Structure 1
Amino acid sequence: MSIIVEFSLDTTDFLFGSVLAPVEEMSIDLEAIVPTGNLILPYFWATGKDFEAFERHVLDDPDVGGITQLDRVDDTALYRVEWASDLDGVIHLLAETNAVILEGTSSDRTWFFRVRFPSHDQVADFYNYCSEQSIKLHVESVYTLQEASRAGRKFELSQPQREALVLAIEKGYFSVPRKTNLSEIAADLGISQQAASKNVRRGAEKVLRACMLEHVGTTGRPEEENTDTAGDK
């Protein structure tokens, strides 16, 4: 039975994250892949402003063989990175246990992961390894795929997205006129405004996609409900 684990760890306990931690503020999102062999995490998204400084910073690291910007939309760019050496044990063990990284994102020196493991045994192997290596892993949630469809998980929100979106709703960010702004939301959460913006934006997109698109047919219009009411125009 597949098990989904949500956990976080500090950038200092994650070599991959340390390599990508830029001088200028930049948040990173990993592509959802199975990390295997030399192709460990070749793609990631970077959101920020000074991409040139970010690329110089990454290339200065001896573990990086090269970095290529593949695409860019506004303040977000897709990169492919070539690693000059093997990366840290966290990613290596994820590859060893055939785990799938469903989501990996950075936010102010902390990385959040949502990972699917093949079974409880692989989860135990991963957790025990982290303990042996003194990696401070903060497990936030463990659940099965069946449980994932229950309330609170059907939108597949990460914990940071869930917290930011709930706070935005409670504070009136979506009200007209707005009763708060991203700066205040970021201050309440203790994160940067950029991280708050990303979490609110992506969290809202996930909820809207789940709620809206599941009721949309192939024509792109909401499917009509079956009713017994005749002549109701």
Structure 2
Amino acid sequence: MSLIAEFSLRSPDLVLASALDAAPDVTVELEQQMATEFDAPVFIFWAFGGDFERLEAGLDSDETVSEYTVIEELGDRKLYRARLDCEEICAIYPIYQKLGASPMAATGSADGWQRRVRFPDRDSVVKMRQFCADNDVDFRLNRLYTPGDSELEDKFGLSAEQRKALVTAERVGYFDVPREVALAELGEELDISGQSASERIRRGVSELVSNTLLSDFKRRK
């Protein structure tokens, strides 16, 4: 039986790593990745939530990106098409193909990449973890579940931790303008660090956007 794994990846050698470091408030969401045996991979992604000028300055200097263009703007979101430099990337996509895994969702930020991937079995998840260890990529498994497990699935794609973080953030005034509490205080409410609270909020907001505001758009496409 297949398994769905949700995990984070961190490494300065991952695609867009330095560009996202240059724009720490930006979140990117992978729309499509294309690769052939002869051409450099193409990465199509949405960006939102931060300073696009800083992101684009980061893309200009990011060694994993050979060129990029903006192909669409929708309100406070931009859709980018980037051609990647294979020699400068720790390539993750080929290992998915080798293991027979199917990527389902990917979001990136200065905190790293959050991935949801369907693996054919538990052994392939172990091999994925080992590949990351062998290539100095920090791999952290957040959830592992079978498709259709109603106790673990959320209708908006949120994990229990993400849902709790978002609900708590709203309750204590983190989303108010101006904010009523800082990240460190929110972390105390959740009994985690401020950085961990930030990661959960980012991932949760990205899941909500992807599974609500973007769901109709993706169906139309």
Aligned residues: 201
Equivalent residue runs for 1:49-198 within 5 Å: 49-86=50-87, 87-147=89-149, 150-155=150-155, 157-159=157-159, 162-170=160-168, 172-173=170-171, 180-182=173-175, 183=179, 184=181, 186-187=183-184, 188-189=186-187, 190-191=194-195, 196=201
Gaps of 5+ in 2: 188-193, 217-221
Does 1:2 pair with 2:10? no
Give the Cα–Cα distance (whole angstroms) in 1 for the partners of residues 3 and 147 of structure 2: 7
SS of residue in 1 equivalent to 2:145: strand
Distance 1:34 1:195 in 2: 29
- In structure 2, the residue corresponding to 1:123 is in which secondary structure? helix
How many Å separate the matches in 2 of 1:41 and 1:163? Answer: 33
1:115 shift after superposition: 0.8
Post-superposition shift, 1:45?
A: 1.3
Contact 2:42 2:84 in 1 (8 A): no
Q: Structure 2 vs 1, CA of residues 89 and 171 (structure 1 numbering), >3 Å: closer, same or farther?
A: closer
* Change beyond 3 A, Cα 1:99–1:156: farther
Deviation at 1:108, TM superposition (A): 4.1
Q: Offset at 1:151?
A: 2.5
The alignment's TM-score, normalised by the length of structure 1, stands at 0.67
* Deviation sequence 1:87-112 (CA, Å, 0-9, x none): 31433312332322212123442321
Offset of 1:201 from its aligned partner? 7.0
Match of 1:203 among 194, 208, 212: 208
Identity %: 22
Deviations 1:156-200 (A, max 9, x none): 5254xx534323324554xxxxx5132437441425979847734
SS at match of 1:5: strand
Alignment-derived partner of residue 190 in structure 2: none
* Larger Rg, first or second structure (1 or 2): 1
SS of residue matched to 1:96: helix
Supply the RMSD in Å over aligned alpha carbons.
Answer: 3.6
1:65 Cα deviation from its structure 2 partner: 2.0
* CA distance in structure 2 between the aligned counterparts of 1:201 and 1:28, rounded to whole angstroms: 9
1:102/1:34 CA distance change after superposition, 3 Å: farther
For the residues of structure 2 that align with 1:98 and 1:83, how far apart are their CA atoms? 23
